[in-house]
């Protein structure tokens, strides 16, 4: 019962500096980091390694005391060189100096028929102990899935519609059998369907078009059509009491490899893109890689911002920082730390705006690529403009009312207005277009935390 869903609302941010479709040959980074901040819902992280310890790829390094069955493991083999902590000793990064040749923890190997015969309990245990479980994200709240729960369905978005998004075909080329094995394992976890959501506006990669045991749905339209939250809303929305899980294709492949090859494989392809990169292209590396070597001699100026992830939902990192667990993109854009005289009124064709009050004639040149810096472009103000949030939210949700309910800490309202259906990324465009410059995404997370933990 595959579905085709056409979305009209949204906005494609067309930035300059898209990655060229080739994988660069460079030395591997020296350090890799595991960042608990890449996940939501780790309440009391407990380290199981110390600085100076040697680990293999797949060695448990961390667990959550509140949820101790879920293990977090090292992406590469090597020596733990630093455990970075922030304010109040908050755990920020576990940095590993990688070996030249990666050694893996050995797990049990399954054949395709073994996978089919394995029980749900066996599969769950294997996923938990191996460290691949963290790829499963629970909706509502966008936290690491709870192994005690049974989801009503599992959703996989097979495309990324964010600005400068990497091409999934290039990212996952040749991984067909692992992807299928991963799907077969996931099939055991839910009594419902596994939804595989494709982009109907582009050519679909073989890895997805050949997948079996899934319900294939097609989505058409501008960003956020690729957001799994938006897709869930249109396929099988989350109501109070429902639990669904999401996973990205990288996670599915990692699970497939674990079963077929018996290893925890953190190797992945990431894109380095953005207007400030000399040669935007792809790199083959491992989860949590340091960007130091990728950006060396490859950046146009000093005054840039490195973002792990995309420019709508990502996080700033240093020039020698590490990529977040779920990210397969590093965006490099100019910093906007300058004053601009009368910048708010002077006519220009260089600035990007969703709203025609700025780019009145921008529709004449829809393919134009923009260079956008990190300037806030205004000051925080009261909610005034109405209707624009709705124009970039292709869901039956009223963002302004929901945000006001969160700010008022009104639990019943939040619930009634659909907080279970969203996480930060689903309203990221609202934060971008907001005239009053609210921190929409952190407001959303505040609301989710309120509903989940109190």
Partner 1 sequence: MGFLRDQLDKVKPHFHKGGKWEKFYYIYEAHETLLFVPNHTTKTKGAQIKDAIDMKRMMMTVIISMIPCLLFGIYNVGYQHFLALGQEAALLDIILIGAIQVLPVVVVSYAVGLGTEFAIATIRQHPINEGYLVTGMLIPLVMPPDIPLWQVALATIFAVVIAKEAFGGTGMNILNVALTARAFLYFAYPSQISGDVWTYLGDGTAVSGFSGATPLAIGAQSLTTGENVVSSLGSFGAGWADGMFEFSNLFFGFIPGCIGETSTLMCLIGAAILIMTGVGSWKVITGVFAGAYLMGLGMNAIGLNEFMLMPAHYHLVIGGLAFGAVFMASDPVTAAQTETGKWVYGILIGVLTVVIRVFNPAYPEGIMLAILLMNVFAPLIDYSVVNANKKRRLQRATV
- Which residues, 199 to 238, sit near partner 1 by CB under 8 A? 237
Minimum CB distance to partner 1 smaller for 202 or for 360: 360
Q: Are strands 267-273 and 281-286 parallel, antiparallel or unpaired?
A: antiparallel
Cα gap 247→144, rounded to integer Å: 10
Token duo for residue 260: 């077929």
Cβ of residue 309: shortest distance to partner 1, in angstroms? 9
Cβ of residue 143: shortest distance to partner 1, in angstroms? 17
> Which listed residue (307, 329, 403, 422) binds partner 1 by CB under 8 A?
307
The set of residues, in sequence order, having a beta carbon less than 8 Å from that of 315 and lying 6+ positions away, is 37, 307, 308, 309, 324
Minimum CB distance to partner 1 smaller for 225 or for 372: 372
Cβ of residue 360: shortest distance to partner 1, in angstroms? 6
Residue 396 within binding range of partner 1, rule CB under 8 A: yes
Residue span binding partner 1 (CB under 8 A) among the ranges 108-116, 221-229, 286-294, 327-335? 327-335
Residue span binding partner 1 (CB under 8 A) among the ranges 131-139, 185-193, 245-253, 390-398? 390-398
Cα gap 226→234, rounded to integer Å: 12
Residue 401 within binding range of partner 1, rule CB under 8 A: yes
Minimum CB distance to partner 1 smaller for 191 or for 378: 378
> Comparing C-alpha atoms, which of 243, 273, 115, 235 is closest to residue 183?
115
> Which listed residue (337, 365, 368, 408) binds partner 1 by CB under 8 A?
337
Cβ of residue 235: shortest distance to partner 1, in angstroms? 13
Q: If you write DSSP's letter for every residue of 239-304 in order, what string do you get?
A: -TT--EEE--HHHHHHHHHHHHH-S---EEEEEEESTTBSS-EEEEEETTBBSHHHHTT-BS-SSE
User: Quick one: which H or E segment has residue 167?
Assistant: none
> Which listed residue (28, 336, 410, 449) binds partner 1 by CB under 8 A?
336
DSSP class of 392: T
- Which residues, 424 to 443, sit near partner 1 by CB under 8 A? 424, 428, 431-437, 439-442
Minimum CB distance to partner 1 smaller for 265 or for 421: 421
Residue 33 within binding range of partner 1, rule CB under 8 A: no
How many chain residues touch partner 1 (CB under 8 A)? Answer: 76
Q: Where are the beta strands (DSSP E) in 126-165?
A: 137-139, 143-144, 154-157
Residue 284 within binding range of partner 1, rule CB under 8 A: no
Residue span binding partner 1 (CB under 8 A) among the ranges 40-48, 196-204, 260-268, 305-313? 305-313
Q: If you write DSSP's letter for every residue of 345-364 in order, what string do you get?
A: TS--SSS--SSTTT-TTGGG
Cα gap 314→329, rounded to integer Å: 9
Residue 319 within binding range of partner 1, rule CB under 8 A: no
Cα gap 30→376, rounded to integer Å: 35
Q: Build a one-symbol-per-residue string for 139-178: x at contacts with partner 1 by CB under 8 A, - elsewhere.
A: ------------------------x---------------
Token duo for residue 197: 């959501």
Residue span binding partner 1 (CB under 8 A) among the ranges 81-89, 245-253, 282-290, 352-360? 352-360
Measured in degrees and rounded to the nearest 5, phi and psi for residue 71 equal -100, 140
> Comparing C-alpha atoms, which of 32, 45, 250, 247 is closest to residue 156?
247
Cβ of residue 97: shortest distance to partner 1, in angstroms? 26
- Which residues, 63 to 102, sit near partner 1 by CB under 8 A? none
């Amino acid at each position: 019962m595959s579905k085709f869903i056409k979305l009209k609302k949204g906005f494609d941010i067309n930035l300059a500096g898209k990655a060229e479709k080739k994988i660069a040959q460079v030395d591997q980074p020296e350090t890799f980091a595991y960042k608990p901040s890449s996940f939501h819902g780790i309440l009391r992280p407990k380290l199981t390694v110390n600085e100076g310890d040697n680990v293999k790829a797949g060695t448990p390094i961390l667990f959550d005391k509140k949820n101790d069955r879920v293990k977090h493991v090292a992406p590469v083999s090597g020596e733990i060189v630093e455990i970075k902590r922030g304010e109040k000793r908050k755990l920020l990064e576990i940095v590993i100096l990688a070996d030249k040749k990666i050694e893996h923890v050995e797990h049990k190997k399954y054949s395709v028929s073994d996978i089919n015969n394995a029980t749900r309990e066996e599969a769950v245990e294997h996923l938990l102990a191996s460290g691949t479980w963290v790829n499963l994200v629970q909706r509502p709240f966008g936290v690491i899935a709870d192994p005690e729960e049974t989801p009503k369905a599992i959703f996989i978005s097979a495309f990324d519609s964010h600005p400068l998004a990497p091409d999934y075909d290039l990212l996952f080329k040749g991984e067909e059998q692992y992807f299928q094995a991963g799907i077969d394992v996931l099939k055991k976890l839910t009594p419902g369907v596994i939804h595989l959501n494709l982009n109907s506006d582009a050519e679909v990669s073989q890895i997805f078009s050949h997948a079996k045991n899934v319900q294939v749905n097609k989505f058409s339209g501008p960003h956020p059509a690729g957001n799994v939250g938006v897709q869930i809303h249109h396929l099988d929305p989350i109501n109070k009491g429902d639990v669904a899980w999401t996973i990205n294709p990288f996670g599915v492949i990692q699970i497939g490899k674990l079963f077929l090859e018996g290893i925890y494989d953190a190797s992945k392809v990431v894109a380095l893109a953005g207007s400030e990169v000399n040669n935007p292209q792809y790199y083959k590396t491992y989860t949590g890689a340091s960007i130091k070597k990728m950006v060396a001699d490859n950046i146009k100026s000093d005054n840039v911002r490195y973002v792990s992830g995309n420019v709508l939902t990502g996080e700033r990192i240093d020039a020698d920082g590490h990529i977040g667990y779920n990210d397969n993109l590093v965006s490099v854009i100019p910093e906007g730390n300058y004053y601009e005289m009368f910048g708010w009124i002077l006519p220009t064709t260089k600035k990007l705006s969703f709203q025609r009050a700025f780019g009145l004639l921008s529709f004449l040149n829809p393919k134009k690529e923009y260079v956008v810096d990190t300037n806030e472009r205004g000051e925080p103000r009261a909610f005034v403009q109405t209707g624009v949030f709705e124009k970039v939210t292709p869901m039956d949700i009223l963002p302004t009312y929901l945000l006001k309910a969160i700010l008022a800490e009104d639990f019943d309202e939040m619930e009634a207005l659909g907080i279970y259906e969203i996480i930060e990324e689903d309203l990221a465009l609202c934060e971008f277009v907001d005239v009053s410059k609210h921190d929409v995404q952190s407001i959303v997370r505040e609301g989710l935390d309120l509903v989940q933990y109190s």
